[in-house]
Structure 1
Amino acid sequence: MRSSLTFLLLAGASLSAMPALAQQQAAVEEIIVSAARTKLPANALPLTVDVIDSDALAQQAAIGGSVIDAVSTLVPSFSPTRQKLSGAGETLRGRSPLYAINGIPQSTPLRDGSRDGFTIDPFFVDRVELIYGSNALQGIGGTGGIVNQVTVGPPKQDGVSGRMLLQGSTDDGFSGDGRGGKIAGLVGYREGRWDATVGGTYETRGAFYDAKGRRIGVDSTQGETQDSESWSAFGRFGYELDEGVRLDLMLSRFQLEGNGDYVVVAGNRATNLPTSATHGTTPGDPARNRTESAALTLTADDLAGGAFTSQLFFNRSRDTFGGDPSPVESFQDARIAPIGTLFDQSQNRSRKLGGKFNYERAMPGFEDLTATVGFDALFDKTEQRLIVTNRTWVPPTDFRSLAPFAQFNLALLDEKLRLAAGVRHENVQIKVDDYTTLASSGSRRVTGGSPEFSDTLFNAGIVAEPWQGVRLYGSYAQGYTVPDVGRITRAVNRDGVRIDDFLDIDPIISDNRELGVELTKGPITASATYFWSTSKKGQNLVLVAGVYEVQRQRVEIEGLELNLAWETPLPGLTLSGGYAHLDGRTDSNGDGKVDIDLDGANISPDRVNVAAAYVYGPVTARLQTQFYLSRDFDGGDVRNNFGGYNLTDVTIRHAIDMGGITLSVTNLFDKDYISYNSDTTRPTDNLRFYAGRGRTLTLGWDYSF
């Protein structure tokens, strides 16, 4: 997988200082990334790190409407979004990222409902921190990287402050049912040591239309963002116990629910006719998700010469999946209703309790060595129920993780050279009580159990800054997650199964290696990263009888990321570009050797991003294009080969006496295309052959006080 050609490309890019990427980056030496769990600046870490700051996030939210759209647009090695509520198959560097809010995990790996990209409104997010590649910095789930959404901070000065947003959107045909709107407000108050910030948002979304004016098909089962309503509440309350010692309480609730006003109309893949929708009532409750998070955080900047952080958190999610228009075979039970007539729908229920504690300081008498020690605990209970008949599909599953860790960073040669290393020991137990499968699996009685595993995860790296503005780094890091236990337990279809003997919960350990170079010279900011990662027992989504199942297969991925930004001589104008190449292979026959390509359900296409950003006086504007390049999948169904497409967006904001007016246009040139996930999966499914959104206009007014 580590092709010499790719390595030579990296070396050439390093020597010529011509690497390129798409997102706007601040100087890395000024960035402190909280997701890295250290006070050291990002340039001291052997990691690929990006931060989408508040201005860039507001721009992208005006275009796409969500944090996940912002990340997908700006990060070339992230998958194109599905433009649905479900993010199944959306990956970072070909693996699932861990989504977090202030470090609170939002992902549900025990029964992955793929709703973790919609758990907070972007209005309450100050910045998004991205750490690329497998790592265990935040524990379970970071095999593709970490997407940490850092919420707005406390008010900066005494008194009242805040901001508000009014926004409306429509397709370019101004269809009556294609309109949406949003209202949001945030108010903060600070007096002495006390501060409080509270806010709320409400958004309604109309139907989506493609470039030919056709209503885009609805996924009434997995969930939609079109034809939906969402609301979010946020609160942050702080008290400064002493100088440099602060206690914060963060509360967040987000809910997005479909209106259920449309039913699907089948398309035709053979004639390239996309799935559409017509007015109608979907059976049962519309798909929705609800997430609640709370965290109590204590920080002490100078405790015995070091920095101490502790966080106790709670997270609960209820992900409801819609009912299929035709009765789902898995849900049938002749004891309840005649076969083929029983309607039901499922709901994922997950609850997390956890604590994170870490302490960092320079070693006494050896100040060049910074040590971080800590301990993480996570308790997760997840189940999947059928809510119409109150049956258990995935039995309640308890997950417990206890993990001490230590990280070290040694500065040498006046900080021109740094050596970093760390270790984390995971002790995990999964407990499942006795249960009975659904009738469609034979109503099998399964004996529960408490399988355990423990593993020690390592990381090491080197950072060198041989010349001013040049940074080189290399690293090795292990990340881990667990297989989708829910898919395994619900599918048991034979007698005599004992969970202790049957359930393969060996962790998915991904080994990530990368080499990188960053250059800052005058108006030029550039970077290049070559990476490769392997998993001996990975988690691959494989379509079996119309349903994606998890199969434990060897997975190997390599890639190249190039970035470039140039502050032109024209005042306020910055041009940027980026490229990501991904090559993923898996072992389909179990012989220990990879033999076929990962398909579109598991890896993103290669991509080129280009953008022009302009900031001058009262005007802020951005023009951006993403080129998704064609891809054939060796060993896969040729009908899933990807032809590629490109999308262009533009946004412009003009400051006025009372805030600012923003006009954004998504898919500026009204490109007609089939979304990547639809084009590369389910080659015979005419109900999930979705076109992408056509030209969409958004007009907003924002005001800060």
Structure 2
Amino acid sequence: MSAAAKGAADAAEGRGTKLEEIVVTALRTPRPITAIPNTVRILDRTTVEEQLILSPSMQEGLGFVIPSYTGGPQKMSSLGESLRGRTPLYLVDGIPQSTPLRDGKRSAMTIDPDFIERIEVVYGANAIQGVGATGGVINYVTMHPAEDGSWSGRVTVQAETDDFQDDSFGYKTTGRVAKKWGAFDMVFGAVYQERGLYYDGTGQPLGVTLQGDTQDSRSFSLFSKLGVDVAPGQRVEVMANLFDLNGHGNYVRVTGDRDNGIPVTSIRGEEPGEAPHNEARNVALTYTHEDLGSGLLTVQGYYYNFDALYGGIITPTFQDAAIAPLGTLFDQSALHSTKHGLKVTYVRDDIFIPGLQLALGGDYLRDKTYQDLALTDRIWVPEMTFEEIAPFVQLEQRLLDDKLRFSGGLRYENVTLDVQDFTTLAFYGAHMVTGGAPSFDKALTNAGIVVTPSEGLSLFASFSQGFSMPDAGLVLRSVSLPNQSVETLIDLQPIVADNWELGVTYAGEAFNLSASYFWSGSDLGSRIQVIDGVGFVRREKTEIQGVEASANFRLPGEYVLGLNFAALRGRFDSDGDALTDTDLSGRNISPDRLNAFIEGPLYEGSQGALNGRLQTSHFFDRKFDGGSPDMDFTGYTLIDAILTWHINETNKVMLSARNLLNEFYITYYAQTGTTNNDYYFAGRGRSFTLRYQVDF
């Protein structure tokens, strides 16, 4: 196969290899993808590179491959983000990145994508990784150390611009090296990136937002992984990741006009205060023993520290006459979260009878989160300490030469949320709230069956439960009545989601298919409602159902055609009668979406090979039953193109054109998630990225 054709094949999901060969680690036990009774998607490094060259973050790239995933609104924030209408749990090598106690909508941006080897996505509620996965799990698997004794490395440089506007130019440079010395190995990488201003399809600059932007920003990242084989089959590995994303603050917002279809724009200027930023630190120590009592033992300890600063504003919420005259006080909020935890997993095959696999283990997590007002040193959300202890057991029985698999398991959650006495801001009445330590115990179950009647064809059905905390910080900071107690706030009860799924997968030589139907319900769900610019948590029964499908076709001439489709509907109980009667808004549910691509070789000669990819995303119109008509969604279609020149085995050049036809559109969240004129954003217009990569 030519180099260009190989690039096309590698970039396509289900690329003709047998799915049995793909092993997924996001579910704690290394399992072939065909053994999992859920929809699972793997984005390999080639796919990550292709989507990254089109997007400023992986959120949009994930949305193309996973159409039931609603990425963020092209900002540092991920407002409106969901997977199957619920919250996904982000992991980096199994380390939880999400901040469920105060969901600051920054969890997807804690590692530079150039350090990601692949992304594992497990759809639907599950509890195997603990708190937060009511929508599914998104696991970023980082680079692996070298496998041989020689030095290896990669250097990439890239430049980008939005239709050659003067202040839109940005650049990125990445370097990494790896080596193995006997039992020792290492990999180290560094990234620096500068981003310019983004422009819409009419040539107007996109508006900056209080939540933080990737435009007009810089980021710096360091990554390292050190390993040693301490004995045959035993390994100790240390991973450390540092990621900083900082806005420049060179532009100020010009408010839009939703009624007249005028989006938010930007002009050069400087806001008081500090520009928004993300700072993330991940450290993990992992020990594995591949033959302990004929089983695999994995022990991981981790530490995660996250700080996010949001833009400043003069808002009624921040006013306090004891500090400054009402209507004059400027402030900005900051979110701080620190986690440390321990994960233990032991897996053994054929433990009592042939074909029976046992997986057991337990997790410990301690998460401290609070939110303050950075300029006046006031606490907005008190320090909340979340402590989780959760043993689990999982069984899988293989029968009929692995053509039939039954699986089931239980995870017992023991959770405590500890909050000390605190006083709310003056805006809420400066009420003293009595602290407390509400706790709950819950057994979360799962069961599934996978049938493989013939080679390449699998049918599956499953039930699984996942849980998360509601946005406790949003609940606590909004207490506006006297004599309240943390112990009695019903809104702090956990969200337990039930997920049912039926699906089919097929992997053939020229055709791959994955299709599923799912239903997800929660008797005490969590819906975010915005009133006068302030978010509130509504605890209501919710139900979400949908269908998803993806297919790839190998065409003559080594071309690949791919299709991805998702349609979802979410409802909630608006009147407390235990019946769902109103559609969830665009803040909580993704648009129906059809994505397609065609990819293949364009030229091959003595000077190299050229590969091309054309992809399109169509977002369907949507009306929300029971919602305001002015928050219905008008869809749009975007087209992207990528050219990859394989100069030789170690050098390649990539050129991309995002939004090739320079379509003007208002983003999904801006149309459906809020009526605030300050969030009425247009989407990014045509942009070009040129990337050169050399391996050595």
CA distance in 2, matches of 1:502, 1:462: 39
Question: How far did residue 271 of structure 1 move?
Answer: 2.1
The answer to whether the Cα contact below 8 Å between 1:212 and 1:672 also exists between their aligned partners in 2 is yes
Question: How far did residue 548 of structure 1 move?
Answer: 2.2
What is the aligned partner in structure 2 of residue 187 from structure 1? 177
What is the aligned partner in structure 2 of residue 407 from structure 1? 394
1:244 partner amino acid? G
What is the aligned partner in structure 1 of residue 248 from structure 2? 259
SS at 2:167 equivalent: coil
Question: How far did residue 363 of structure 1 move?
Answer: 3.7
The 5 A counterparts of 1:113-262 are: 113-172=104-163, 174-219=164-209, 221-262=210-251
CA distance in 1, matches of 2:249, 2:151: 40
Question: How far did residue 615 of structure 1 move?
Answer: 4.9
2:630 partner amino acid? R
What is the aligned partner in structure 1 of residue 76 from structure 2? 85
The 5 A counterparts of 1:514-533 are: 514-533=501-520
The answer to whether the Cα contact below 8 Å between 1:23 and 1:75 also exists between their aligned partners in 2 is no
Question: How far did residue 652 of structure 1 move?
Answer: 1.3
Provide the identity percentage: 42
SS at 2:361 equivalent: strand
2:654 partner amino acid? T
2:226 partner amino acid? F
Q: TM-score, normalised by structure 1?
A: 0.95
1:433 partner amino acid? Q
The 5 A counterparts of 1:46-85 are: 46-85=37-76
Question: How far did residue 537 of structure 1 move?
Answer: 0.6
**Cα deviations across residues 465-495 of structure 1 (Å, max 9, x unaligned)?**
1112210000000010011110111111222
CA distance in 1, matches of 2:434, 2:63: 42
The 5 A counterparts of 1:607-618 are: 607-615=593-601, 618=609
2:245 partner amino acid? L
What is the aligned partner in structure 1 of residue 666 from structure 2? 674
CA distance in 2, matches of 1:65, 1:483: 29
What is the aligned partner in structure 2 of residue 290 from structure 1? 279
1:177 partner amino acid? D
**Cα deviations across residues 174-195 of structure 1 (Å, max 9, x unaligned)?**
1111111001111112110111
SS at 2:437 equivalent: coil
Question: How far did residue 359 of structure 1 move?
Answer: 0.2
CA distance in 2, matches of 1:177, 1:509: 47
The 5 A counterparts of 1:14-33 are: 24-26=13-15, 27-33=18-24
1:307 matched to 2:296? The reply is: yes
What is the aligned partner in structure 2 of residue 491 from structure 1? 478
CA distance in 1, matches of 2:380, 2:235: 44
Question: How far did residue 435 of structure 1 move?
Answer: 1.1
What is the aligned partner in structure 2 of residue 16 from structure 1? none
What is the aligned partner in structure 2 of residue 320 from structure 1? 309
Unaligned runs of 5+ in 2: 1-10
Question: How far did residue 282 of structure 1 move?
Answer: 1.4
The answer to whether the Cα contact below 8 Å between 2:217 and 2:248 also exists between their aligned partners in 1 is yes
What is the aligned partner in structure 2 of residue 635 from structure 1? 626
2:461 partner amino acid? G
CA distance in 2, matches of 1:69, 1:157: 35
**Cα deviations across residues 395-423 of structure 1 (Å, max 9, x unaligned)?**
00000000000110000111110100010
SS at 2:453 equivalent: coil
CA distance in 2, matches of 1:521, 1:280: 57
**Cα deviations across residues 591-648 of structure 1 (Å, max 9, x unaligned)?**
2111110111000111111111225753333211010000000000100111100111
The answer to whether the Cα contact below 8 Å between 2:368 and 2:385 also exists between their aligned partners in 1 is yes
1:306 partner amino acid? G
CA distance in 2, matches of 1:151, 1:426: 28
CA distance in 2, matches of 1:106, 1:138: 12
CA distance in 1, matches of 2:659, 2:555: 26
CA distance in 1, matches of 2:413, 2:599: 44
What is the aligned partner in structure 1 of residue 587 from structure 2? 601
The answer to whether the Cα contact below 8 Å between 1:285 and 1:322 also exists between their aligned partners in 2 is yes
Q: Structure 2 residue aligned with 1:576, among 562, 573, 577?
A: 562
1:280 matched to 2:240? The reply is: no
**Cα deviations across residues 422-444 of structure 1 (Å, max 9, x unaligned)?**
10000000000111111111111
**Cα deviations across residues 349-369 of structure 1 (Å, max 9, x unaligned)?**
000000100000024341210
Judge which range, 574-583 or 649-658, deviates more.
649-658
CA distance in 2, matches of 1:605, 1:502: 33
Judge which range, 517-526 or 404-413, deviates more.
517-526
What is the aligned partner in structure 1 of residue 657 from structure 2? 665
1:37 matched to 2:28? The reply is: yes
Q: Structure 2 residue aligned with 1:445, among 432, 436, 459?
A: 432
2:202 partner amino acid? K
1:377 matched to 2:364? The reply is: yes
CA distance in 2, matches of 1:270, 1:494: 35
Judge which range, 612-621 or 343-352, deviates more.
612-621
1:679 partner amino acid? Q
The answer to whether the Cα contact below 8 Å between 1:655 and 1:661 also exists between their aligned partners in 2 is yes
What is the aligned partner in structure 1 of residue 6 from structure 2? none
The 5 A counterparts of 1:381-460 are: 381-460=368-447
**Cα deviations across residues 662-690 of structure 1 (Å, max 9, x unaligned)?**
1011001111100110011323x222211
**Cα deviations across residues 62-110 of structure 1 (Å, max 9, x unaligned)?**
1113222221121111114300111021111111100110010000000
**Cα deviations across residues 520-560 of structure 1 (Å, max 9, x unaligned)?**
23301112100000011111111222222111111100000
CA distance in 2, matches of 1:605, 1:504: 28
Cα separation, partners in 2 of 1:218 and 1:23, compared to 1, 3 Å: farther
Cα separation, partners in 2 of 1:162 and 1:655, compared to 1, 3 Å: same
2:146 partner amino acid? P
CA distance in 2, matches of 1:332, 1:99: 35
**Cα deviations across residues 565-606 of structure 1 (Å, max 9, x unaligned)?**
1111212x1001121110110111222111110111000111
Question: How far did residue 244 of structure 1 move?
Answer: 1.8
The answer to whether the Cα contact below 8 Å between 1:258 and 1:286 also exists between their aligned partners in 2 is yes
The answer to whether the Cα contact below 8 Å between 2:362 and 2:389 also exists between their aligned partners in 1 is yes
SS at 1:466 equivalent: strand
1:695 matched to 2:686? The reply is: yes
Question: Alignment length, in residue pairs?
Answer: 678
SS at 2:492 equivalent: coil
Q: Structure 2 residue aligned with 1:590, among 565, 573, 576?
A: 576
The answer to whether the Cα contact below 8 Å between 2:19 and 2:507 also exists between their aligned partners in 1 is no
What is the aligned partner in structure 1 of residue 539 from structure 2? 552
Q: Structure 2 residue aligned with 1:501, among 488, 501, 507?
A: 488
The answer to whether the Cα contact below 8 Å between 2:227 and 2:236 also exists between their aligned partners in 1 is yes
SS at 1:57 equivalent: helix
Judge which range, 575-584 or 456-465, deviates more.
575-584
The answer to whether the Cα contact below 8 Å between 1:73 and 1:80 also exists between their aligned partners in 2 is no
**Cα deviations across residues 177-218 of structure 1 (Å, max 9, x unaligned)?**
111100111111211011111111011110000111001111
1:29 partner amino acid? E
CA distance in 2, matches of 1:103, 1:300: 18
CA distance in 2, matches of 1:140, 1:63: 32
